[in-house]
Amino acid sequence: MITRALAEQLAAHGLVWTPASGDRFLVPDRDLDEEVFVVAGMAIEVRDVPSGGSEMRFNGTVEWALDSIEQSEVVWLPREEQMRDALGARFLRLERLGGETGGWAVVLDGEERYVDIDAERAYARALLSVLPGPS
């Protein structure tokens, strides 16, 4: 998973987010900095019932007093495939690196390589190289 710092850099460089089911995000500055949230159409809670089985409860909100938050107040953590899509035709391949440290390299057209210990972080670094820059 990419770091908050990389996610904030991507946003500052103009990566646009249209929230969709499955997207991950952080809610900074509310004592929730370490919690990763996932956009979902509906929360499903599993509860044990007295008869010994379980039931699936379909809820709008499970157990959090925060009913809503502005998109501009959260930090989107784009996934690997979202960043690969944003790279478009510039993306050539993802390579697993050997050696002691391992890691991943995203290779763009022109054989430019962007390396990190995590594949999503390597994608983020490659994407930062092609986005227009901070607005």
Domain of residue 29 covers 18-77
pLDDT in tens, 55-89: 777 665 545 555 678 899 999 999 999 999 999 99
Residues 63 and 94 in one domain: no
Residues 70 and 118 in one domain: no
Q: Which of 36, 58, 77 marks a domain boundary? A: 77
Residues 63 and 22 in one domain: yes
Distance in angstroms (rounded) separating the CA atoms of residues 94 and 107: 6
Total domains in the chain come to 2
Mean predicted confidence (pLDDT) in 19-32: 90
Residue whose entry in the numeric block shows the structure tokens 């430019």: 112
59 sits in which H/E element? strand 54-59
Instruction: Give the DSSP letter of residue 2.
Output: -
**Residue 11 in domain:** no
Q: Which of 77, 98, 118 marks a domain boundary? A: 77
The model's pTM is: 0.81
Residues 116 and 93 in one domain: yes
Residues 87 and 59 in one domain: no
